[in-house]
Structure 1
Amino acid sequence: MKFNGRIFFVSLLVGLASQVSIGLMINDFRVSAGIIALVILLLYYENLKPVQTGLLSGFMVYIFRLFLYLLTNGNIKDVIVSYQLEILFYLFYSFIYALLIDKVDKNNINSVFMVLIISDFSANLVEMFTRTRFLITYYQWQIIPTLLIIALARSGIIWAALNMFKYYRMFLIKEEHEERYKRLLWLTSELKTEVYWIEKNMDNIERVMSESYKLFEKIKLNVEKESWASMALSIARDIHEIKKENLLVVRGIKQITENQFDDKGMNFKDIINILSETMKREINRIKKNVELVFHLQDDFYTLKHYYIMSILRNLIMNSIDAMPDLKEGAKIEVIHRMEKDQHVLIVADNGSGIEEENLKHIFSPGFSTKIDYSTGEINRGLGLSVVKYIVEELLKGSIEVSSVKGKGTNFIMYIPRESLEVDLDENIHSRR
């Protein structure tokens, strides 16, 4: 569903919901369920602009009320102006909501509840005073507490609905995680057989290496020439056997992983939630004071969740490793945005940076600047080459890197939309 189409769809639902209403003491002043529908849908479709959606919803409510009045009374002349103030209510509600909602944590339902009360009560006051000012309608001051009660009641319904959605979503996620855990256990048990063959081949490889070295020594010393051919043939035969067994192992692992991880896909936000939780736990484990922040423009459904998880995890771990232990204000940002038909993923840190002469080599397998001089251990640098392979070969995208020594590093990936997104129910895009 296209963006403008979604605004129209939401407004239509709000218009329908607004027909559930009650009248108060002021003529044509009605309290409806439309605003409940509007807020829930605004929270569900996060990228909808509240003011535009609220304004169109107000027009839709106005049209619905005029139409129903025409059906029941046959003439709308008496209510054309009066009903227009419904638009004013929805406009002010959405304006106040938009003004306040970005100042609170949307994941904190109690904070959202307070925003809703203020928006509802204030918009009702504006509508009520406008009616009394321009329609010369009499009202009593006693209605103001009633409006506060209405704001509390409607906001309370939304609060209850949001809690229900939250716990239902947690229940579904728990079920999904349990199912994945079962499959992981089964995968582990299946892989143990393949591990046995890998361990067996390691012994065979050690033996072949030993035989190869013996042959090398004989050739070097120019002794026992009559045994060279038979030893070389034996080594070749052993390598051929190892190759056959490795092919069986690779085939077995592929079959197991394809069968056990035939997942239906995930929403991008769910991938990021899992990644955020695991990476922050890793930061705590290694006792580094690093802030990890995610900025997501959009949500989408993808079957490439393992690829996304792999590239972002590798880049975040790279950034964590690049952070000096005692750095103040250490920060890693993961940013997602849309540019035309591309997803742009950025992993930026303010760590130690990369020397300019090393930038052109960092995607080469085996290249690394990470050496533990106390042990001599070298990080073999496969992570970035894997990232480059996934982004460019598997996802048909591109990756760029920029870095300033002592200031930080930015990795920017451009991935075509069709490489990541899957259309389900008119393309589940921007879906909460």
Structure 2
Amino acid sequence: MREKAGKILLYTLAVVFAAQISMTVFIVDFQISIGVILLAAFFFLVDGFPVLTVTLLSSGGVFAARIIIYWLQNGDVAGRMNAFMPEIVFYISYGLLLYLYGLVLKNPILKSNLYIFPLVIIDYGANFLELSVRLGENVFDFETQSGIFVVACLRVVISWGIVALFRQYHLILLKKDHEDRYRRLLIMISKLNEEVIWMRKNSALIEETMATSYHLFEKLKEDDRRKDLSESALSIAKDVHEIKKEYFLIMRGLTEALDKEMKNDKLPFADLLAILKNAALKTAGEYEKKLELEIETQDDFYTDKHYFLMSIFRNLFLNAIEAEKGNYVKIIFSEKKENDFYIFRITDQGPGINKEDIEYVFDAGFSTKINYETGIVSRGLGLNLVQDLVEKQFSGTISVVSVPGNTTFTISIPCEEMTV
């Protein structure tokens, strides 16, 4: 309630202050201001705009402001009340007509900008009523009538311009928001896809564990002295079986959702790199590191395997960011076409990989990264996943060379595997 009252007060003050920008036309004391322009703009821009309340308060506010300003300028307001009073008629009649128009439109926010032009009649009608109070029968003078009609047209055109400008700005913000959400969605789907790949790999381990437990039960049950152990082995086999069923249900649900999302979805390679760059910069910021990412490409193409490419490159970028011991990370990404292959190189200037570790870096579980504060060691799945994706999804190859200050991963993928 307090918030609503605050908004009403804000709208009223905006109209009152805008009304002070005015000019006298036709007769003395008849002021044409821009306050009503804001009323029209609020009407079309603000959902549920309280027309009657704001116009009623504005009528009194404008009248009071006129009196105060005149008093400050002249030191006396004797005889001026009647001069300013008819303006109240204008705002009240304008607000009432605008309210009735709102009932016809139901929801002005959802209507076309063209619906703003009937406000010409509302503006003209409110001015006509005010001048009727001031002039009586003389209000029907042709010059006066044509004048207030032109004024109404001008104010409505300005109102339309304000509404159109704000709506265009809103569309720009909305488009940007949608683009940001789309980028985040692509990265999220890429991460989920990685986890599903690992779940598929681990499903074999679950089956093997269950089988091993059951075989152990078969062996132990023949020995009466190990009856307790045999029952424990059987219990483990049953528990693993239950875990397997739940695990497979989850994996199937994720797989179906991802397959549906990824089906016939295509993306330009340049857009993919832009999304990855934004994600890498954000990741570096989370690690409190400054990332300089240079991208050098010779080709652009559409691909329907962009989720897999995202996983490959994102993991390599993340690997470089995590490996860097300082606060500055530099990564150079390059792409070029050689014969019938796309060649990608990702180079970082980090500490490098020890010579004795090179042959193991793509093995699952291998990791040299450890948090010495928490004791947590990386699960060592990133590079193994990268190799798996390159070889199985793209029929490609990946290799690495490393010395202190320069580590380069080279990926070669047949062109026919990449383009659609």
TM-score (norm. length: structure 1): 0.49
Other-structure match for 1:325:
none
Task: Give the conservation status (yes or no) of the 8 Å contact 1:17–1:34.
Answer: yes
Task: Give the conservation status (yes or no) of the 8 Å contact 2:67–2:81.
Answer: yes
Q: How does 1:243-262 map to 2 (within 5 A)?
A: none
SS at match of 1:28: coil
Query: Considering only CA atoms, is the larger Rg found in Structure 1 or Structure 2?
Result: 2
**Which 5+ residue runs of structure 2 have no aligned equivalent?**
255-278, 284-420
Q: How does 1:33-432 map to 2 (within 5 A)?
A: 33-104=34-105, 106=108, 107-133=110-136, 140-207=141-208, 229=229, 233=233, 236=236
SS at match of 2:14: helix
- Paired with 1:146 and 1:4, the residues of 2 have a C-alpha distance of 37
* C-alpha deviation, 1:83, in angstroms: 0.6
- Check 1:139–1:66 CA distance in 2 against 1; reply closer, same or farther (3 A cut): farther
Tell me, yes or no, if structure 1 residue 3 matches structure 2 residue 4.
yes
* C-alpha deviation, 1:208, in angstroms: 5.4
Identity score, percent: 28
- Check 1:150–1:138 CA distance in 2 against 1; reply closer, same or farther (3 A cut): closer
Aligned length: 245
- Paired with 1:183 and 1:85, the residues of 2 have a C-alpha distance of 57
Flag the structure with higher helix content.
Answer: 2
SS at match of 2:32: strand
Other-structure match for 1:14:
15
- Paired with 2:112 and 2:181, the residues of 1 have a C-alpha distance of 29
- Check 1:123–1:207 CA distance in 2 against 1; reply closer, same or farther (3 A cut): same
- Paired with 1:237 and 1:131, the residues of 2 have a C-alpha distance of 96
* C-alpha deviation, 1:28, in angstroms: 0.8
- Paired with 1:54 and 1:186, the residues of 2 have a C-alpha distance of 49
* C-alpha deviation, 1:121, in angstroms: 0.8
Other-structure match for 1:27:
28
**Which 5+ residue runs of structure 1 have no aligned equivalent?**
261-432
- Check 1:200–1:241 CA distance in 2 against 1; reply closer, same or farther (3 A cut): farther
- Paired with 1:138 and 1:53, the residues of 2 have a C-alpha distance of 28
Task: Give the conservation status (yes or no) of the 8 Å contact 2:213–2:234.
Answer: no
- Paired with 1:144 and 1:200, the residues of 2 have a C-alpha distance of 83
* C-alpha deviation, 1:233, in angstroms: 2.8
Q: Report the residue type matching 1:170 in the other structure.
A: L
* C-alpha deviation, 1:141, in angstroms: 2.6
Task: Give the conservation status (yes or no) of the 8 Å contact 1:28–1:82.
Answer: yes
- Check 1:208–1:147 CA distance in 2 against 1; reply closer, same or farther (3 A cut): same
SS at match of 1:25: coil
SS at match of 1:2: helix
Q: Report the residue type matching 2:236 in the other structure.
A: A
Task: Give the conservation status (yes or no) of the 8 Å contact 2:213–2:236.
Answer: no
- Paired with 1:166 and 1:55, the residues of 2 have a C-alpha distance of 27
Task: Give the conservation status (yes or no) of the 8 Å contact 1:18–1:61.
Answer: yes
- Paired with 2:114 and 2:235, the residues of 1 have a C-alpha distance of 72
* C-alpha deviation, 1:64, in angstroms: 1.0
1:373-432 deviations in Å (ceiling 9; x for gaps) = xxxxxxxxxxxxxxxxxxxxxxxxxxxxxxxxxxxxxxxxxxxxxxxxxxxxxxxxxxxx
Task: Give the conservation status (yes or no) of the 8 Å contact 1:205–1:242.
Answer: no
Q: Report the residue type matching 2:11 in the other structure.
A: V
